[in-house]
Amino acid sequence: MKKIISIFIALFALNASADLKGLVDGINNSTTPAELVASGWAANDGGKGYKILQIIVKGTDMSAELQLDKTGKIVASKMGATSKLDTSVDYKMTATAADWKAMGTGERGPMYHMSPLGGLSFDGPMVEAMKNMGPFANFLIQIGTNLN
């Protein structure tokens, strides 16, 4: 099993740029940005002009960072989660590669994944996230789908 995970991680590292582009395109070309604007989520940026979403693959050195502007679209992305977060507006999501892949199936909703059984660790404005379960579910699916 460890060998399979190591191979998966190596393949992910080789395809990281393409996968990150797939994640960005998947979110930006969905209804998620409009939903985030309609709910007020996108406007809550602490005055920075964007929100940060950090995606961490637990047990590896893989991470990515997304910046979403007031249109709810991802306007910048990079491999590596290095920015300092304001957890009153920004988000950090951590899960193992296997848990991210499970989230990509969409079979279980975000509430399950945020429970101890689901494997997702979450830092950020929880009440705001709870009010945006539809878009949040899409984020989890897009992240999990693009970790191939």
- pLDDT higher than threshold 60 for residue 138: yes
Q: Rounded to two decimals, what is the model's pTM?
A: 0.81
The Cα–Cα gap between 23 and 17 comes to 10
For residue 78, pLDDT over 60 is answered with: yes
For residue range 93-106, list pLDDT tens digits in order: 999 998 888 888 88
Question: Which sequence spans correspond to the domains of the chain?
Answer: 2-145
- What pLDDT is recorded for position 17? 52
pLDDT mean across residues, the chain:
84
As a whole number of angstroms, the distance between CA 53 and CA 74 comes to 10
- Give residue 144's pLDDT: 85
What would the two tokens of residue 145 be?
């789908």
CATH 3.30.1050.10 fits 2-145, yes or no: yes
Select the more confidently predicted residue: 25 or 11.
Answer: 25
Q: For position 79, what pLDDT does the model report?
A: 93
